Amino acid sequence: MIPLRDVNPSHSFPVMTIMIIIVNAMIFLYEVSLGQYLPEFLDTFALIPAQYFYMGDLGGVSAIARYFPFVTSQFLHGGWLHFIGNMWFLWIFGDNVEDRLGHFRFLIFYLLCGVIAGFAHVYTNPHSSLPTVGASGAIAGVMGAYTISFPQARVLTLFVFFFFIRFIELPAVVFLGVWFIFQFFSGTVALAAAESAGGVAWWAHIGGFVAGIALIIFIPKRKNWPRRRVIQFFGDDDEL
């Protein structure tokens, strides 16, 4: 399932969402320009789980600097599809969450979800020496917040199953719920596999999504956020 757009207009310009996309684009283009020096760059700024269980590998790096990758890795990507896919999901779901939280709180929320996602990945892959990059943990947090905040918003989705192709509109709680179930199933399989250290950082996605749900409950809405009457998933009316 590929989301094409959501039917959920925001009431403020998504300044921070656009800025995050621009920063990611600039850094990705810089990565592309590095050529043979890219591995060295990733060793410094990507998240490498084994380093946090074998601290001697970091030499004389300061205690603060060794944790920078929990933030810097959120702005790195492993290829064009990785970059475009992440930014597309952020563009679809980020504006409404930013509208609810306000610009500055959205940035803090985004980075915090990414950090929690990073810890989830590190502790489920403690022996992995592979550099982990990507904004998907932070964006999963945005998607978790969207699920709680706008469960009945419609998501226009391209559904592809072999030769069966169809455009369908799904409630956000259904689309994002299916997405989360797939991440959880894949992450569980990866933990059980012998080669669980590589590949997709499933548990970063899971950790980010859960963090987004938890944080959006406690972070207050911006004061002038419009309250709208919506129909909740279980059929009761409520105000958001």
Q: What pLDDT, on the 0 to 100 scale, is given for residue 238?
A: 42
At 61, the pLDDT band (50, 70, 90 cuts) reads: low
Give the pLDDT confidence of 141-176 residue by residue, as tens digits: 999 999 999 999 999 888 887 777 888 899 999 999
SS (H, E, C) 18-87: HHHHHHHHHHHHHHHHHHHHHHHHHHHHCECHHHHCCHHHHCCCCCCHHHCHHHHHHHCCCCHHHHHHHH
Confidence at residue 102, expressed as pLDDT on a 0 to 100 scale = 92
Give the pLDDT confidence score for residue 59 in this predicted structure: 55
pLDDT per position as a tens digit, 110-132:
999 999 999 999 998 888 888 89
Which residues on adjacent β-strands are paired with residue 166? 159
How confident is residue 81, by pLDDT bands cut at 50, 70 and 90?
Answer: very high
Segment among 4-13, 97-106, 142-151 with least mean pLDDT: 4-13
pLDDT at 235: 36
The pTM (predicted TM-score) of the whole model is 0.87
For residue 60, report the phi and psi dihedrals to the nearest 5 degrees.
Answer: -95, 20
**pLDDT mean over 98-108:** 94
Domains of the chain: 2-221 (1.20.1540.10)
Residue 197 — φ and ψ, nearest 5°? Answer: -80, -20
- pLDDT, the chain, mean: 85
Q: What pLDDT score does 161 carry?
A: 75
